[in-house]
Amino acid sequence: MGGVKVPGDDQPELARDTYRTAYIIHFLLGAGNLLPWNALITAVDYFGSLYPNKHVEKVFSVAYMASSLLVLVVMIFMTWRGGGWCGKMRSRLTLNLGFSMFIMSLMVSPLMDWVWWSRESSGRDNGNYAVTVVSVVICGLADGLVGGSLMGAAGRLPKEYMQAVFAGTASSGVLVSSLRILTKAVLPQTPKGLRTSAHLYFMVSTIILLCCIICCNLLHKLPVMQHQCRLLQGYPTCSRPQIWGVARKIKWPTFGIFTIYTVTLSIFPGFIAENLHSKLFQDWYPILLITVYNVADLVGKSLTAVYVLEGINKATWACLARLLFYPLFTACLHGPIWMKTETPIIVLTFMLGLTNGYLTSVLMILVPKAVPVSEAELSAIVMVVFLGIGLVSGSVFGWFWII
């Protein structure tokens, strides 16, 4: 496997990040980037009650990931044609547009519920479901805008900011899982209580996204970010021939991140939420497993603040080793009785999240630093594109658990 050398320290020095404000904002924006997706999949009990005959988790995964990938491909094309996508005002524009689309799409289901629940709605179920899926598609488009811009820009900064973004993405999963558990626990276990808890949950998520809009407009005003922008003005943007050169340089880590998310999304959330059942936890079981995964993902992405695996090749081989999750989770479904119990399933779910978080963060930290600074933004976007391709392929492969 061809190696990608990580240069020693050819990155420009930053001005002092007073009170680590820029780090905190990158963390919050990372959290906001994945908060809508985590909100959708963690409300599995709510959507399951609204559309009991639909494979909601699997449909949401394909709709969200495919639309996000479409935007990322367009970003690559725009970067190819016009230089850095994430520079100057374009980053602010795409972040503001993306977070606004997040807010709009996240409020669709509660609004339809408020308007139509008290009426006779049996004839509207299919229409409501179609509108909900369209809102998920819009959410995916917003994810492509926010994720591509945020990670492309972070790729040109010191590694701590990329680590902050990915730790933030993981924290959003823990946040929404905790919020979902809280709202579900404090309200009565009735259809009305379930709806009320879900509505409260979506409203709080929307408030957090509004805070992200404020943060992305404050970020460029920080002295440390203005200093970084001045330093990077002297570096040339990537020309067309360099793009394919960058892609060749990072071919193995792109394959590694593709493998990570193909494995993860083919198991989580669809298989975990729909195929596994527990008499002990009942309808709390999918929420518990999703929470375990999100906590483990956060732990994995936070570990890179302490230790980053040395060598992109080692990280890539570790990504391939995650293919072992397939036979292990298959055993939980069709294997011996003890493998179908809660303990091994919870342990495997934790390991799935831990390895997903750590290896993703390692690759996204190392790869932009393995190329010249002028190619760092593009390399980060290429990695995000292959991450998106892995998400789509994993979402599609997730249907094979039904077959």
Q: Would 350 be classed as within a structural domain?
A: yes
The pLDDT score that the predictor gives to residue 118 is 52
In sequence order, what are the residues at sequence separation of 6 or more whose Cβ sits closer than 8 angstroms to the Cβ of residue 327? none
Q: Would 267 be classed as within a structural domain?
A: yes
Q: Would 289 be classed as within a structural domain?
A: yes
Please give, one letter per residue, the 3-state secondary structure of the chain. Answer: CCCCCCCCCCCCCCCCCHHHHHHHHHHHHHHHHHHHHHHHHHCHHHHHHHCCCCCHHHHHHHHHHHHHHHHHHHHHHHHHHHCCCCCHHHHHHHHHHHHHHHHHHHCHHHHHHHHHCCCCCHHHHHHHHHHHHHHHHHHHHHHHHHHHHHHHHHCCCCHHHHHHHHHHHHHHHHHHHHHHHHHHHHCCCCHHHHHHHHHHHHHHHHHHHHHHHHHHHHHCCCHHHHHHHHHHCCCCCCCHHHHHHHHHHCHHHHHHHHHHHHHHHHHCCHHHHHCCCCCCCHHHHHHHHHHHHHHHHHHHHHHCCCCCCCCHHHHHHHHHHHHHHHHHHHHHHHCCHHHHCHHHHHHHHHHHHHHHHHHHHHHHHHHHHHCCHHHHHHHHHHHHHHHHHHHHHHHHHHHHHCC
Q: What is the domain extent for residue 325?
A: 18-401
Kindly give the confidence (pLDDT) of every residue in the chain, 403 residues in length, as a single tens digit, with 9 standing for 90 and above. Answer: 655 554 444 444 445 777 789 999 999 999 999 999 888 887 877 888 888 888 887 789 889 989 999 998 888 777 666 555 445 457 888 999 999 999 999 988 888 878 775 555 554 577 888 999 999 999 999 999 999 889 888 887 888 889 999 999 999 989 888 887 887 788 887 778 878 878 887 888 899 999 999 999 998 888 888 777 777 665 555 555 477 788 889 999 999 999 999 999 889 877 776 667 777 777 788 888 989 999 999 999 999 999 999 889 999 999 999 999 999 998 988 889 888 888 999 999 999 999 999 999 999 999 998 888 778 878 888 898 899 899 889 888 887 765 4
End-to-end CA separation in angstroms for the chain: 35
Check which CATH number belongs to the domain holding 83 and give it. Answer: 1.20.1250.20
Q: Would 260 be classed as within a structural domain?
A: yes
Q: Would 5 be classed as within a structural domain?
A: no
Q: Residue 5's CB: how many other CB atoms inside 10 A? A: 10
Q: Indicate the number of domains in the chain.
A: 1
Q: Would 12 be classed as within a structural domain?
A: no
The pLDDT score that the predictor gives to residue 11 is 47
Q: Would 85 be classed as within a structural domain?
A: yes
Judge if pTM exceeds 0.75.
yes
Q: Would 6 be classed as within a structural domain?
A: no
